[in-house]
Amino acid sequence: MDAAGLGIFLVLDNERRLVGIVTDGDLRRAMLARQNTDITAGAFVEAKRNPVYPKPVTGRISDDTQSHLKLMRQRKLHHLPLLDSEDRVADLIVMDDLLPKQSPPMRAVIMAGGLGTRLRPLTENTPKPMLPVGDRPLMERTLESLRGAGIRHVSLSTGYQADKVAEHFKDGRAFGVDLDYVTEDRPMGTAGALSLMAKPSEPLLVINGDILTNVDYSAMLAFHQEQEALLTVAVRKFEFNVPYGVIECDGSRVNGLTEKPTYTSFVNAGIYLLDPGAFDYIPRPMPEGTRFNMTDLIQKLIDAKLTVAGFPIREYWLDIGQPADYEQAQADVRDGRYAQVA
């Protein structure tokens, strides 16, 4: 799936008849549900629950392109397996193959205004997103991944040593994007800077400037739209190993013991996708002396009973917050564990 870059693979029997389909979204939903994915493709298809289309939607190889396109639009499909006269899989078509290539309907903001205090002395004279990772600044790698996803309009939210960021990136043309700048004159929080921007007319991708990742942003947008979310937050699986036996008590009575358990949770990965309506929940203007974080915005939406979706990351991701993380990023780029999206 990842090698082909299509976000789908087909499961066939020995006679090339279609058993089922596994999509990128299927894998991410399985991660959220904590389902075991260390199984065969056939077993995964059997365990998959899809109440909308219990059986894969298919077309005929003998039909014309317009018929394929009509079916895909009716069923809101991005992929369509094509069967021959004996119901064997003959081809797989993708919506992008039938329509002119278009940029995804979203813009991006990189939050690059932090002080980077935990990385001092490295950040005494260099903004954290400008620290070199391999042969180029971290933010260059972020811009490359956005450009690779087809995103062309990017805003940089700057504060600490903003002039050094602007001097390096200028208008962004040298990096294949159109850049504008949102400068905080005071710390406003991870969502506070958005109050300085006009309400967008399309989804807005917000990324913390200290993250090294090759997340599939197009897949995140598709997931966001599928969930009909007002805000989608990327989440990362985090495992915590307790080095002791854990005792469970009911009052003074011990009723259970687990030896050195491992607990699994999902943590905030610092990447968000906001529909324009989410901007209505950001204070405007920001009261003097206050901060408003993305976590505050998420909580406001939850309190309003609006849909906030979690998008699990299965690609490379590293938060460069500590010196050890920075060293890890250098090693991962050098050794090929981080693969830049071209």
Angle between helix axes 138-148 and 162-169 (nearest 10 degrees) is 50
Joined together, the tokens standing for residue 31 give 């991660």
Of residues 319, 249, 223, the one with CA closest to residue 29: 223
How far apart (Å, rounded) are the C-alpha atoms in residues 300 and 156? 25
How far apart (Å, rounded) are the C-alpha atoms in residues 166 and 69? 44
Three-class DSSP category at 194: helix
Joined together, the tokens standing for residue 267 give 């943590």
* Residues whose CB is less than 8 angstroms from the CB of residue 105 and which lie 6 or more positions away in sequence, other chains included: 202, 203, 221
Strands 153-158 and 178-183: parallel
How far apart (Å, rounded) are the C-alpha atoms in residues 316 and 322? 18
Neighbours of 253 (CB within 10 A): 7
Distance of alpha carbon 254 from its chain centroid, rounded? 43
Strands 308-312 and 231-241: parallel
Task: List beta partners, residue 133.
Answer: 136
Q: Which helix (H) or strand (E) holds 240?
A: strand 231-241
Of residues 158, 155, 125, 127, the one with CA closest to residue 143: 155
How far apart (Å, rounded) are the C-alpha atoms in residues 243 and 145? 38
The residues that are catalytic are 260
Joined together, the tokens standing for residue 132 give 């070199």
Of residues 102, 100, 97, 126, the one with CA closest to residue 114: 126
Q: What is the dihedral of CA 50, 52, 54, 58, to 10 degrees?
A: -120
